[in-house]
Structure 1
Amino acid sequence: MARALRPSFEIGSVRVRAGRAQSLALPITRLVTGADVDLPIRVVHGREEGPTVWVDAAIHGDEAVGVEVVRQVLAALDPKTLRGTLIAVPIVNVLGFMNGSRYLPDRRDLNRSFPGAPRGSLAGRIAHLFMTQVVDQCEVGIDLHTGSDRRTNLPQIRADLEDARTRELAAAFAAPVMLHAKVRDGSLRHAAREHGATVLLYEAGEAWRMDAWAVEAGVLGVRRVLAALGMTEPVAEDPPAASEVSWRSGWVRARGTGMLHLEAGLGQRVEEGQRLGGLFDSFGKRVRLVHANRAGVVIGRTEAPLVTSGDAVVHIAEVEA
C-alpha cells in the first residue's frame, strides 16, 4: 500500500505539494512607476514529516552575505529527501537592498519594526507580512546579518543562551563564538520569540561585501542546524571546533581622533591592556594608542580609516575558560 503524502504547504495564495520546491512573491507595495514590489520566498516542502524552519537575510538592505548563504543552502536541498519544510526569504528589505541602503526609503529600520501592523508604516506592513506568512508557520528561524557602519564581524551566533533549546541549536551551528545577547524591542528575534519560535541570529562579515569566509561559515552553520533538527543528513566534514561561549562583550572606543591602524584581527585572543593599534595624524605622528579594555576574543572591528574620539573600534567578547 502506497504511503500517503504530506499535505500541501500553504503560504499566501500558493499551495506547495510535498516533495516539491516552489518560488512565490508576496505583494508589499507599488512604486510610483506602477511597478509592484514583492517579498521573494522559496518553499522547500519535503516528502516526509519534520520541523518547519525559516531562514532569512537582508532585513538590513546593505547586508549581502546572507543572500548568498541562502542561495547556497537552497542549491543543496532536495525536497524529495528533506524531512520537514524550509521557508527561505533571501531578501526581506527589498527596497533597501535595491538601493544598497540599510534602511527603508522612509529611513525606518525594519529590524526595529516587528511585529508590525497591517495598516502601519511601510516597515510595519512588511514586518506584519513576514510574521503572519512566515514566522507564524515555523518553530525555528535563522536570521542572517553582517556588521554595519563600516564594521566587520567574526562569524558568530547571537542568541538567548539561557534557553536550553536555543543553546543546543547555537552549538550545532558551530560558529567560532556564540554570544548571549539580550533581545531588542522591535527586532525580528524578539517578536518571533514572543510567538513561540526559537531564533538564531548569525553575524559575519561586512555590509555590502561578499566575504567568502563569512558565506562559507554561514552555509555550513545552517546545514548543521538543519541536520541537528533531523531535516537532512549530517554535513560530511571533520567535526567542527566547539563554539567559544560568551556571556558578555564590549567595544573599545577611540580616545582620540586620527587615522586608525589596527593590529588586532578577527578571532584573535587578547589580554586586558594589550595594544590593539594606534591613531596617527595626517603627518604620521602617533597621537594615541588603542588598548584592550578586557580579555577575550576579537569578534568585531571597524574598517573605517578615520575615527573620532568615542568611536567604537574593536569589539571584544569575554569567553568561558
Structure 2
Amino acid sequence: MRPSFEIGPVRVRAGRTQSVSLPITRLVTGADVDLPVRVVHGREDGPTVWIDAAIHGDEAVGVEVVRQVLAGLDAKTMRGTLIAVPIVNVLGFSNGDRYLPDRRDLNRSFPGAARGSLASQIAHLMMTEVVAKCEVGIDLHTGSDRRTNLPQIRADLEDPRTRELASAFAAPVMMHARLRDGSLRFAARERGATVLLYEAGEAWRMDPWAVDAGVLGVRRVLAALGMTDPVEEEPPAASAVSWRSGWVRARGTGMLHLEAQLGDRVTKGDRLGGLFDSFGKRVRLVRADRDGIVIGRTEAPLVNSGDAVIHLAEVEEPATPEGEHGVPHASDC
C-alpha cells in the first residue's frame, strides 16, 4: 500500500479521494475563504500531477473541465496522484471578476509570499501546497477582454518532455509560448515542473466545445503519464504546431462584422471581415496580414483603430525545434 498523501492538515490514504479546504483569508462578515482542493490518491505508484482553473476569476470553462475529469477518475484504479484546484481565484470567481478585490492579477503574482498582498498569499499557498508536490501541471484558461480562443496548448516546445505532453493533449494547435515573469507557469518551471497551459473559449461563458476539448486533452495526458488507461481506441489527430503568432489590428473605427471563424486557415490578404459605420456603410475591410490559422478573435461589436481583432498563428511542423523560429507572440494569459 502506498503511503498517505499529505496536504495541509490532511492525510489522504491510498485508494481514496478527499476534498480539502486550505485557508486563505477571512471576510469582514467573519466568513472564512478557503482554497478548494480535491486529491485523488491512487492505490498504485505513479506521477503526482495538478490541474487548476480560474486563476482569473472570469474563466469558467476550466472549472467545468476539472469537474468532468474528476467525475471520470477512480482512486482505486488510478496510478499516481492528482491534485485538482477548480477555482484558484475564489474571490474573483465569486464576483465574476477577472482580478482580486485589490485589482491585482493573480497570474502575475507567483511564486508569492506568505506575508505579501492577498494575491501574493494565494500564489504562495498554491505553490507550497500544490505545485511543490507535483511533477506535471495543467493550467486551464480562457480568452480575456471579450476575446474567444480556439482550443490550444501554450508551452515550451523546445523542451522535449513538455512537447511530448503537449502532443499527447492533442489540442487543435500547440504553440511555443515564452514564459512570463509572475505567472504560475514561470514559477512552476523554476521549481522543476513540466507545465501545459490550455486556452479555450471566452471569459464567463461555458462554451461546450472548449470544455469537451479540455476534458479529452487532460484525460489523454493522464493516460500518457501512465496514470489511467487510454481514453480512445484510435490516436487523435496531431496538433498543428506554431512558433509565431500575431494579432490583426483594425485600421479604422466602426462596428465589426467578422467572417473568419476559429480554426479557419487563411492566406495573407484574405478577407476576414469588415468595419461599418452606424448606418451600415462599410468603412474598412479587415484582411489577414499573414498565412495562418485563426486561434483567437474579438467578440466586441465596436472596435477602434489599432484594436486587436483576429489572432493568427503561423502553422508549421518542423522535424526538430532547431534553428531560429523568431520571437513568438503567444504568452501566458
Residue 46 of structure 2 is matched in structure 1 by 50
Give unpaired runs (5+ residues) of structure 1.
none
Residue 329 of structure 2 is matched in structure 1 by none
Q: Matched residues, percent identical?
A: 85
Equivalent residue runs for 1:33-72 within 5 Å? 33-72=29-68
Worse-matched range after superposition: 145-154 or 233-242: 233-242
SS at match of 1:245: strand
Give unpaired runs (5+ residues) of structure 2.
318-333
Distance 2:236 2:223 in 1: 14
Residue 144 of structure 2 is matched in structure 1 by 148
The Cα shift of 1:238 comes to: 3.5
Distance 2:200 2:304 in 1: 25
Residue 187 of structure 1 is matched in structure 2 by 183
Identify the match of residue 26 of structure 1 among 22, 28, 41.
22
Q: How many pairs were matched up?
A: 317
Identify the match of residue 106 of structure 1 among 90, 102, 107.
102
Compute the RMSD of aligned alpha carbons.
Answer: 0.6
The Cα shift of 1:273 comes to: 1.1
Which digits, 9 at most, give the CA deviation of each residue in 1:100-145, with x for residues without a partner? 0000000000000000000000000000000000000000000000
Which digits, 9 at most, give the CA deviation of each residue in 1:27-49, with x for residues without a partner? 00000000000000000000000
The Cα shift of 1:236 comes to: 2.6
Residue 322 of structure 2 is matched in structure 1 by none
Residue 324 of structure 2 is matched in structure 1 by none
Which digits, 9 at most, give the CA deviation of each residue in 1:219-238, with x for residues without a partner? 00000000000000000354
The one-letter amino acid of 1:218's match is: G
Identify the match of residue 247 of structure 2 among 241, 246, 251.
251
SS at match of 1:192: helix
Residue 213 of structure 1 is matched in structure 2 by 209
Identify the match of residue 225 of structure 2 among 223, 229, 232.
229
SS at match of 1:26: strand
Residue 264 of structure 2 is matched in structure 1 by 268
Distance 1:76 1:223 in 2: 9
SS at match of 1:143: strand
The one-letter amino acid of 2:89's match is: N
- Is 1:318 equivalent to 2:330 in the alignment? no
Residue 236 of structure 2 is matched in structure 1 by 240
Which digits, 9 at most, give the CA deviation of each residue in 1:65-101, with x for residues without a partner? 0000000000000000000000000000000000000
Distance 1:286 1:275 in 2: 13
The one-letter amino acid of 2:217's match is: G
**TM-score under structure 1 normalisation?**
0.98
Distance 1:117 1:279 in 2: 47
Distance 1:229 1:236 in 2: 15
Residue 292 of structure 1 is matched in structure 2 by 288
Distance 1:80 1:270 in 2: 48
**TM-score under structure 2 normalisation?**
0.95
- Is 1:277 equivalent to 2:261 in the alignment? no
SS at match of 2:113: coil
Residue 203 of structure 1 is matched in structure 2 by 199
Distance 2:301 2:234 in 1: 38
The one-letter amino acid of 1:313's match is: V
Distance 2:87 2:232 in 1: 28
The one-letter amino acid of 1:202's match is: Y
Residue 75 of structure 1 is matched in structure 2 by 71
- Is 1:164 equivalent to 2:157 in the alignment? no
The one-letter amino acid of 2:291's match is: A
Distance 2:247 2:233 in 1: 34
Question: Could you list the runs of 4 or more consecutive aligned residues of structure 1 that deviate by over 6 angstroms after TM superposition?
Answer: none
Identify the match of residue 128 of structure 2 among 132, 141, 144.
132
- Is 1:88 equivalent to 2:84 in the alignment? yes
The Cα shift of 1:313 comes to: 0.2
